[in-house]
Structure 1
Amino acid sequence: MSTEPFERLLWQQLAARGAVQGEFTPALRMPWPIRLLMGAAGWLGALFAQLFLLGSVFAVTRGNGPAIAITGLLMIGAAILMYRTTSQDSARIALGQFALAASLGGQGMVIVGVGESLGIDRLSQTAVFWLGVTALEAVLFVIVPNRLHRFVAVTGGWSAATIALYIALGGSMRNPFLMMPLTVGLLGVLAMAAVMVFVLNEARIAARGTHALWEPAADATLVFGLSSALIITGTALPSEFLFDGIRHLQTPGNWVPGVLVGVCLVGFAQIEGARIRCDAGIRIGLMVLAVAFSGLMVMAPAVTAGVLALAMALRRASLPWIGLAIAAILLGFIWYYSTLQWTLLVKSVTLAAAGVLLLAARLALTRMPRKEAIA
């Protein structure tokens, strides 16, 4: 669906306010099938190039960790140069995907090379190693000027930080699920809080000219936060058929992430109420609704995180964020309803009460004064 009519209407509204000048010029966009084919061509070319390169390097430098790491750094450097190369749109798409594949391969070679040098079996069991991976992803996030690469780097950084925290807290691979509320859950809450900070300060970030830098980080952080909430919601699934010695994954403290995500939801509701100048009664009502809903869904933090993501998405009018939020809410409800440690009566009452609260929230929102609020 073309967005040109909406862009033209927005331009006319901004021009009427005096915010922009001149005639609207529609942006030329390449059809998505062509972009898909060019991206696939880039990955295919990168696959063959890296198979040849990796085969040559590992054949010559087998067991030579420093040589493997240096080759990986050279691949990352080549990827950065490709990202900074300007060309036509079709070539830029293919070159960008080639560069992404080269960068990911280079990162893997750096990690393997360092591990070969210091003992990969021993090193991978330390938090310092995974913190180093996090630092590598942070550096690449800053120096590589590409939105998709920054998204991947932030995702990798959050994942490596999760493993580092798990090891630092004394977790073992024998039973990693017992540590999930303190690792995946807490970092997921931290991620949702970071996204909330971005949304609340997005106007200032754009005014400083750093929006292109931090927006992909916010996208990746939101995906990580929602995924973490889904994982915590799903740790109660019966899995004794898949994992020996683990029955229903009764993880200690699995209520903590739900409580903390609820705190974020209450805080965001209050901040938004103040921003759009709601009266005190409406703000108190929103706070009561947010507290009650978070309390009901404390064992399904994915639903609360999805509602928070939906509120943030509506503030910044982001369709991709709205899709992610709705998917998290639906999957969170489905996953919660699929658990077996709760009775059907408890789940039915919880879901019915959540529905009543949502209807009450809708009634409260329809009674709010309709006026434009500019942040």
Structure 2
Amino acid sequence: MSNVLQTEQRLWQQLAARGEVQGEPPAHPHTPWAVRCLMGAAGWLGALFFQFFLVGTVFVAARENGVAMAVTGLAMIALAALLYWRGGGIAAGQFALAVSLSGQGMAVFGLTEALGFTRVAESAGFWAALALFEAALAWLVPNRLHRLLCGLGAWIGLAGAVHLLMAGSKPEDWLLLTWSLGWLVPLGAALAAGFTLAEARLCAHGRHAVLEPLADATLLFTLAAALVVTGMSHPLAWLDGPDAARIPLAHWAAGGLVTVMLAGFALAECRRLALGQAMQGAVLGGLVAFGALMAAAPAVVAGVLALGLALRRASMPWQGLGVASIAIGFIWYYSALHWTLLAKSATLAAAGVLLLAGRHWLLHRAQMEAA
């Protein structure tokens, strides 16, 4: 909520306490989308000219000095944070966003230049530090879009650190991403489900505004990583030895763990809705069976979980992400090469039959309870 809206609500509450007004405060008129687009474009245009000036005065002079570039980037981030804290219109917010993103890129690039690009890029500690840096920015800078982008940056840094730790002496082996991302997918799913279940308490404690964009970033990264794990395949892994042959098992590990998260969320929802034991057993049994059939396509299982979380939160963006993940996950799973065409067709057909049977049973159960 902006500072202007907070001030208006506080003034309305003071007037209501004096008995001078009654009812709810009048709705705040929204700026038309065309005006918002123009103001946002003005902010980015101003940031572009500002950065041209900065490149012409500082970057060219310090192009061989990584420390100076990093310090300049940190100064740009501080300027953007100051603009966010002071508040302002759409143009000021977009100007601050562009300056902050450019400052982050300059700070990271300058640091890698100062320490040696190749050595730093292959260091898990650097990626972990990048994740902490982005997480700190997401926590300190009070802007929703900035927090969302920094949250994504934190997850990317964490993914790089996990991959390098697992790859060891073979950082160029990108096939191991199926394992590094495969472990992060259930972690992200668990965090998104935990945020959804605790959302009411977070609102009561005043933490929702900070954590909601981070939850958006977590769900977005989780679904994207699940799609990568689903689409990557290694059909000739057995030619490279037993270690490489274990790579396709990452699909099963990620899909199985996300199925556990899906079942846990469904159980919590059944208890919240006070459903009977028979209904709880049927829902859990159907979801576990569906997850077992689609375990090799973790993007589909993660999309189903995202759809459930979206319905719980009444969130259209989360619902759109869930539907897109399910659709793309089905396509990528069917076109991947780690299973035969017959096996994939059989699992997809069985999953479809299971869903139709579950729908029929739920409708019949609802009609019986209504009667």
The verdict on a shared fold, with TM-score over 0.5 as the criterion, is yes
Distance 1:49 1:121 in 2: 31
Contact 1:236 1:248 in 2 (8 A): no
What residue in structure 2 maps to residue 228 of structure 1? 225
1:58 deviation in Å?
2.5
Shift >4 Å, 4+ stretches: 237-240, 247-250, 368-371
Q: 1:349 aligns with which of 335, 346, 350?
A: 346
Letter of the 1:176 partner, please give it. W
1:172-321 → structure 2 map (5 Å cutoff): 172-177=170-175, 179-236=176-233, 251-321=248-318
Partner of 2:73: 72
Distance 1:237 1:368, change over 3 A: farther
The answer (yes or no) to whether the contact 2:185–2:226 under 8 Å persists in 1 is yes
Aligned to 1:81: 82
Task: Check 1:283–1:45 CA distance in 2 against 1; reply closer, same or farther (3 A cut).
Answer: same
Task: Report the counterpart of residue 15 of structure 1 in structure 2.
Answer: none
Residue 64 of structure 1: how far off its partner (Å): 1.7
Asked if the contact 1:162–1:187 (Cα under 8 Å) also holds between the matched residues in 2, the reply is yes
Q: 1:265, 1:221 → 2: CA distance?
A: 16
Out of 117, 131, 146, the residue aligned to residue 114 of structure 2 is 117
Distance 1:234 1:249 in 2: 16
Kindly provide the amino acid, as one letter, of the partner of residue 315 in structure 2: S
AA aligned to 1:193 is: A
Corresponding position of 2:42: 41
Paired residues of 2:226 and 2:298 also in contact (CA < 8 A): yes
CA apart distance, 1:279: 0.6
Tell me how far apart the structure 2 counterparts of residues 356 and 27 of structure 1 sit (CA, whole Å). Answer: 49
1:236-290 CA deviation, whole Å, 9 max, x = no partner?
A: 28899xxxxxx99964433110111111111111111111001111111111111
String of CA shifts for 1:306-355, please: whole Å, max 9, x gaps: 10010111011111111111111111111112224433332222112111
Structure 2 unmatched ranges of 5 or more: 1-21, 238-243
Q: Does 1:146 align with 2:147?
A: no
Residue of structure 1 in register with 2:33 after alignment? 32
Query: Partner of 2:355 in structure 1?
Result: 358
3-state DSSP class of the match of 1:149?
A: helix
What is the CA–CA distance in structure 1 between the aligned matches of 2:249 and 2:307, rounded to whole Å?
A: 29
Q: 2:35 & 2:362 partners in 1: Cα distance? A: 43
Residue identity matched to 2:125: V
Distance 1:36 1:26 in 2: 22
The equivalent residue for 1:4 is none
Q: Does 1:170 align with 2:171?
A: no
Q: For 2:338 and 2:226, how far apart are their aligned partners in 1?
A: 19
Task: Report the AA paired with residue 97 of structure 1.
Answer: Q
Q: Does structure 1 retain, via aligned residues, the 8 Å contact 2:306–2:322?
A: yes
1:199 touches 1:312 (CA, 8 Å); kept in 2? Answer: yes
Tell whether the 8 Å contact from 1:65 to 1:117 is kept in structure 2 after alignment.
Answer: yes
Say if 2:251 and 2:297, in contact at 8 Å, map to a contact too: no
Unaligned runs of 5+ in 1: 1-20, 241-246
- The residue correspondences of 1:118-137 to structure 2 (distance < 5 A) are 118-137=115-134
**Alpha carbons of structure 1 residues 80 and 255: separation in structure 2 relative to 1, 3 Å:** same
* Post-superposition CA distance 1:125-158 (Å, at most 9, x none): 1111111111111111111000000000000000
CA contact (8 A) 1:259 1:295 kept: yes
Shift of 1:369: 8.9
1:6 matched to which residue of 2?
none
In the superposition, the TM-score normalised over structure 2's length comes to 0.86
Q: What is the alpha-carbon distance in structure 2 between the residues aligned to residue 207 and residue 234 of structure 1?
A: 41
| Corresponding residue for residue 61 of structure 2 | 60
- Structure 1 residues 248 and 354 mapped into 2: Cα distance closer, same or farther (>3 Å)? same
Q: Secondary structure at 2:251's aligned position in 1?
A: coil
Question: Matches of 1:328 and 1:74 in 2, distance apart?
Answer: 39
Shift of 1:293: 0.3
Instruction: Give the deviation of 1:69 after TM superposition.
Output: 1.4
Paired positions, count: 340
Root mean square deviation, CA, Å = 2.4
Distance change (3 Å), C-alpha of 1:220 and 1:170: same
When normalised by structure 1's length, the TM-score is 0.85
User: For each residue in 1:34-62, what CA deviation from the matched residue of structure 2 results, as whole angstroms up to 9, or x when unmatched?
Assistant: 21222122122212221321242222123
